[in-house]
Chains A and B, each alone.
Chain A
Amino acid sequence: TQLLEQSPQFLSIQEGENLTVYCNSSSVFSSLQWYRQEPGEGPVLLVTVVTGGEVKKLKRLTFQFGDARKDSSLHITAAQPGDTGLYLCAVWYSSASKIIFGSGTRLSIRP
């Protein structure tokens, strides 16, 4: 059983469209991170959210942490081909002292 479930698993949309990716869990976390990974590269940190209900913006990307700190969403406005990649949410699993990654959402933006 995955601690962090991401949906959708795959998403292919046209350039200019909007999209939302979700990261859900039944556990409560003190913080949550979003990463983007391109093929053949390691994940790159996009944002860390720590407060329930927090919203952070990074250009066309909007990240929200759920009020109960169990879930998060990533919304991309006017998607561009450069947004293509694997989006991963991750949390610090304190009881085991390690980072756990979500199942991932593979995003493809068609020109």
Chain B
Amino acid sequence: GAVVSQHPSRVICKSGTSVKIECRSLDFQATTMFWYRQFPKQSLMLMATSNEGSKATYEQGVEKDKFLINHASLTLSTLTVTSAHPEDSSFYICSAREGGLGSSYGYTFGSGTRLTVV
């Protein structure tokens, strides 16, 4: 089945630095990937929709200059948390589906990245 690889699984960084998280579709091409944020004991909150070859679509309240998304190829999307602060500490998860949008069928999730900003 479809596999989505997310890297790194855990990262600790100093306040003020930037962190890049990668999301790769290993055996399929994905024109669209989604980035979620999850706080402890809560559900997943969609941050942005990453579109291959074009700008990402951000959800209301998500700072696009803070969370930079790049989807330069059909198998890779990256999320960069710029000038990270302790309040950015969270669990970040990506998902992808072979092909484009259209339904909720067939979306596969990465294993997540635990970001801790100290």
A pairs with B? yes
- Cβ contact of B44, chosen from A30, A45, A88, A97, cutoff 8 A: A88
Q: Do residues B112 and A41 form an inter-chain contact, with CB atoms below 8 A?
A: yes
Bound complex: CA A90 to CA B36 (Å): 13
- Is A65 close to B, CB under 8 A? no
- Is A51 close to B, CB under 8 A? no
- Is A7 close to B, CB under 8 A? no
- Cβ contact of B43, chosen from A44, A98, A102, cutoff 8 A: A102
Interface residues of A in 19-64 (CB under 8 A from B): 30-31, 33, 35, 40-45, 48
Q: Contact flags (1/0) for B9-35 with A, using CB distance below 8 Å?
A: 100000000000000000000000010
- Is B78 close to A, CB under 8 A? no
- Is A100 close to B, CB under 8 A? yes
- Is A106 close to B, CB under 8 A? yes
User: What residues of A have a CB within 8 angstroms of the CB of B111 in the complex?
Assistant: 40-42
Q: Do residues B46 and A100 form an inter-chain contact, with CB atoms below 8 A?
A: yes
Q: Do residues B49 and A43 form an inter-chain contact, with CB atoms below 8 A?
A: no
Bound complex: CA A48 to CA B108 (Å): 13
User: What residues of B have a CB within 8 angstroms of the CB of A86 in the complex?
Assistant: 43
Q: Contact flags (1/0) for A77-111 with B, using CB distance below 8 Å?
A: 00000000010101110100111111110100000
Interface extent on B, as a size class?
Answer: 20 to 34
Given A98-B34, A99-B34, A104-B43, A42-B104 contact (CB < 8 Å): no
Q: Do residues B103 and A31 form an inter-chain contact, with CB atoms below 8 A?
A: yes
Bound complex: CA A100 to CA B112 (Å): 18
Bound complex: CA A80 to CA B34 (Å): 32
B114 CB to nearest A CB, Å:
7
Bound complex: CA A101 to CA B93 (Å): 13
Q: Do residues B46 and A98 form an inter-chain contact, with CB atoms below 8 A?
A: yes
Bound complex: CA A45 to CA B106 (Å): 9
- Is B54 close to A, CB under 8 A? no
User: What residues of B have a CB within 8 angstroms of the CB of A104 in the complex?
Assistant: 42-43
A92 CB to nearest B CB, Å:
3
B104 to A, closest residue via Cβ: A92
Please report A residues at the B interface, Cβ cutoff 8 Å: 30-31, 33, 35, 40-45, 48, 86, 88, 90-92, 94, 97-104, 106
